[in-house]
Amino acid sequence: MSRKVYIETVGCQMNVLDSEVVIGTLRRQGYTLADSPAQADVILFNTCSVREHAEDKIYSALGRLRSLKRHNPQAVIGVLGCMAQKDQHRIAERAPHVDLIVGPGQLAEVPRLIEEARSSRRLQMAVSLGRAEAGRAEVEASFVSFDPVRDPTMRPTPFQAYVRIQIGCDKFCTYCVVPSTRGPEQSRPPAHILAEARQLVEQGCKEITLLGQTVNSYRFQHGDGRVTRLSDLLAALHDLPGLERLKFVTNFPKDMTDDLLDAVRSLPKVVKYLHVPAQSGCDLVLQRMKRNYTVAFYTDMLARCREKVPGVAISSDFIVGFCGESEESFARTVRLVEQARFKNSYIFKYSERPGTKAAQRYADDVPEEVKKRRNNDLLAVQTEISRQEHRRWIGQRVSILVEGPSKRDQNRFAAASPSDTLQLTGRTMTDHIVVCDGSPRLIGQIIDVDIIDASPFTLFGVVSSAASCDSAGLAGLPEAAAFPRRVPLPVL
Ligand code: 5AD
Ligand code: SF4
């Protein structure tokens, strides 16, 4: 009898990829996916520790499973990911009904530990070493990148995939848990990345997004001393026939080198979009965050990106209400957002994370109400800029990769026939989201769309006549029936 697994994912793209590969591995061992915890033999949470809110959500979800576990003591409940690494003992105390605690560097162990938990009925824990627990090499070795053979039916779409090129982070921004939960920065060997990408393209994958916490600091030193940089990797991947689009996230401002920008400009398959978080527009705050750059450096870097890659779209992250952020500091952040003209920005209220340098050194002294107001104010400024930037596209013809039905038509999609018209959504080469009406056959295709309207977050278009005549696409891809999404996307 086949066992059923249920998974919930919160957090970043790396977690989405981790969930995909864990579920893909379990599927190869005969598991099928359950739609709810009640139907599952194994219930997994892939967790995030970046903000307290994300952790609270997981503890509430675990609390709700207490009675399920009473009624079905055979069920295996697992906590995977950053919370497992950071709070291993706390999870066991707060949720004693949890059977499995597995950090992001130990995911390959999940299938074996499920069996152990089932047979021994004892808590199974697999976490990596803390950064101060041993020498660099030993800590590195305890964080293992888990990149098994990919299963296209486990991805949100079969024609798009994430590929990990780097794990961990060495930047140690003072507010951030990632360097301790995901361990030291380690770049995967280019040959492994290329082999994985080749396999994905053979499976029908048209768009690959390279993942790393600071992806542009990717650097692999070969045995003979040669070095492969992200720009070299992009050039090598670019040659894969069948691959149409290459993206990479997330960039660190200090590592935005000219060779990378030249590669982005000159390689036609590389998306003209850079996500480069600034975090703050105040030098004092940046210093306290230990970001290692000034606002002037950041704005020069933006100018260099725009000069080297004409038309490039840039997005950013900001934290408001960081320790010691005065009204004057915040005003400087507003000024940066006004000047930088990002496509969009992700704005977060500072959340103190125990164990980080900021928690040890500085008081979390900006009141919640002030954080909320600054968040809203900065968002309003960015939204107005996004609206203006998006409206500049009206009247232009863009090429989009159609990703699926829009949110509005998700339910209609299941019953739709190729001759129906649905509202579809896709992204341009500058990562702008486009919505247009079209046949579900267009899903998975790159088509031309004429932009007729724009909101701050979306471009509205009509399929150009040339594109609408083409009828290949989803129907031609393997596992077309895999839609809609198999492994649900993060709930955060
Ligand atoms: N509080 C709030 N936001 C944070 N981020 C990282 N750590 C914290 C924290 N402690 C934000 C940063 C980062 C994004 C992924 O999450 O902006 O770029
Ligand atoms: Fe965290 Fe800074 Fe590393 Fe990004 S660069 S993951 S914010 S420590």
CATH architecture of 397-482: Beta Barrel (2.40)
**β pairing state of 433-438 and 422-427:** antiparallel
**Binding residue per annotation — 323?**
no
Q: Is the pLDDT of residue 227 over 60?
A: yes
Give DSSP secondary structure letters for 104-132: TT-GGGHHHHHHHHHHH-S-EEE-PPPTT
> Which ligand has its closest atom nearest to the C-alpha of 293?
2
Q: Is the pLDDT of residue 480 over 70?
A: no
> Which of 50, 131, 214, 293 should be mutated for ligand 2, with most atoms under 8 A from CB?
214
What length is written for the chain? 492
Cβ(172) – ligand 2 distance below 6 Å: yes
List Cβ neighbours of 346 (8 Å cut-off, separation of 6 or more). Answer: 277, 315, 316, 317, 318
User: What lines the ligand 1 site, CB under 6 Å?
Assistant: 50-51, 175-176, 277, 279, 317, 319, 348, 350-351, 353
* Predicted confidence (pLDDT) per residue in 372-382, tens digit: 999 999 999 99
Q: Are 343 and 315 in contact (CB under 8 A)?
A: yes
Q: Are 9 and 46 in contact (CB under 8 A)?
A: yes
* Predicted confidence (pLDDT) per residue in 4-59, tens digit: 999 999 999 999 999 999 999 999 999 999 999 999 999 999 999 999 999 999 99
Predicted confidence band of residue 492 (pLDDT cuts 50, 70, 90): very low
User: What's the angle, vertex CA 187, arms to CA 184 and CA 191, rounded to 5?
Assistant: 155
* Predicted confidence (pLDDT) per residue in 86-116, tens digit: 999 999 999 999 999 999 999 999 999 999 9
Q: Which helix (H) or strand (E) holds 449?
A: strand 446-454
**Binding residue per annotation — 82?**
yes
| CA of 354 relative to ligand 1 center, distance in Å | 14
Q: Are 220 and 189 in contact (CB under 8 A)?
A: yes
Q: Where are the domains of the chain?
A: 4-134, 141-390, 397-482
Predicted confidence band of residue 411 (pLDDT cuts 50, 70, 90): confident
pLDDT of residue 483: 38
* Predicted confidence (pLDDT) per residue in 277-332, tens digit: 999 999 999 999 999 999 999 999 999 999 999 999 999 999 999 999 999 999 99
With 0-12 / 13-18 / 19 or more C-beta atoms within 10 angstroms meaning exposed / middle / buried, residue 470 is middle
4-134: in CATH 3.90.1170.50: no
* 141-390 topology per CATH: pyruvate-formate lyase- activating enzyme (3.80.30)
> Which of 50, 251, 351 should be mutated for ligand 1, with most atoms under 8 A from CB?
50
Cβ(178) – ligand 2 distance below 6 Å: yes
> Which ligand has its closest atom nearest to the C-alpha of 252?
2
pTM, 2 dp: 0.94
Q: Is the pLDDT of residue 231 over 80?
A: yes
